[in-house]
Amino acid sequence: MKLLITGGAGFIGSNFIQYILKKYPDYKIVNLDVLTYAGNLENLKDVEKNPNYRFVKGNILDILNIELDKDIDVVVNFSAETHVDRSILNGQDFIKTNVLGTYNLLEFCRERNIRFHHISTDEVFGALGPDDLPFNENTLYCPRSPYSASKAASDHLVRSYYHTYDLPITISNCSNNYGPHQFPEKLHGLFITNLLEGKKIPIYGDGLQIRDWLYVTDHCEAVDLILHQGKLGETYCVGGNTEKTNLEITKSILKNLELGEEMIEFIKDRPGHDRRYAIDITKIKNELGWEPKVSFEQGMKKTIEWYKENKDWWQKIKNGEYQNYYKKQYRDKKI
């Protein structure tokens, strides 16, 4: 099988590429990534010499004009602008990448009759009250930020291509991921790296916002199962069965690093901050036999250890060295 992975230099995409090449050594992967601020080829150093892996620098907005392999079987779309805070400051890039980019990928697949799997988020469903049942595949969409609205629009586009053009598609809506290679603007990466630098942790509002947390390799396994066993035209909700407040996550990180709560700094809450997300995984568990394997405690220890052992990786990102290096490499046509 040959897969085109879009956004494969990012956090989840790079973990998925490594997962697939390890599990299916005869599969071939083409990784298409434009290398925005969150795309990092260092995430894929372990596979860059693998003969079944090829990197192509390119934007999904231009995919119809990019020369790619003719024998692609599946497109897995990890490409997305994902950070809610950035979408609040400027939503334009989110509309371009998440909506127009997905449209162009769908057209690419329609022209070649290629199966398309779309990675989405639980944030398209809106927010839950403290006693509300978790989101499931039948939950009505109610996005509450420019980011989640752009992902909701892309989900609807994907489904429309299934019903209108019979394009073979599947969609997965996942909860919050964490683990190795996560860009250090997201909660785990930011908090851990701040503490390793001796800086305080900034917590929005009272820190009691609840999220369901999913370790990234569990997510990779779920997508793998959907690709191989999922029913075309269907959506699968993928969650970690781990609802935690931001404050609980913070205290867990502090405990693992043997630091006190004086390292917490409460800051003004962001506009429209959703209070709670949670995912019901009944469908994917019953139909595909998937459920998360990595417990919250195991995942936290693995994540913290990875950041401790890979200071060069995140320090380059925080200092802007990675982006400057690759800009020069492309300018000098070395990549």
The pLDDT tens digits of the residues spanning 204-233 come to 999 999 999 999 999 999 999 999 999 999
The pLDDT tens digits of the residues spanning 11-63 come to 999 999 999 999 999 999 999 999 988 889 999 999 999 999 999 999 999 99
Give whole-number Cα distances, 186 to 2, 79, 82, 120, 246, in Å: 31, 17, 10, 17, 12
Given a cut of 50, is residue 326 above it in pLDDT?
A: no
Q: Which residues contact 49 (CB under 8 A, 6 or more apart)?
A: none
Least confident of 5-19, 88-102, 309-323: 309-323
The pLDDT tens digits of the residues spanning 157-170 come to 999 999 999 999 99
Element (H or E) spanning 240, and its range? none
Tell me the whole-structure pTM to 2 decimals: 0.92
Q: Which residues contact 165 (CB under 8 A, 6 or more apart)?
A: 110
pLDDT at 327: 45
pLDDT at 324: 53
Strand partners, 14: none
* Banded pLDDT at 334 (limits 50, 70, 90): very low
Other CB atoms within a 10 A radius of the CB of residue 114 amount to: 19
Residues 16 and 76 sit within 8 Å (Cβ to Cβ) = yes
Active site residues: 122-123, 147
pLDDT at 86: 86
Give whole-number Cα distances, 209 to 49, 107, 127, 142, in Å: 42, 38, 10, 18
Number of residues written out for the chain: 335
* Banded pLDDT at 281 (limits 50, 70, 90): very high
* Banded pLDDT at 276 (limits 50, 70, 90): very high
Given a cut of 80, is residue 320 above it in pLDDT?
A: no
Residue for token pair 């939950």 = 139
Residues 81 and 147 sit within 8 Å (Cβ to Cβ) = yes
* Banded pLDDT at 321 (limits 50, 70, 90): low
All domains of the chain in start order, with CATH: 2-181+211-240+277-293+320-331 (3.40.50.720)
Distance CA 207, CA 61 (A): 37
Q: How large is the average pLDDT for residues 53-81? A: 96
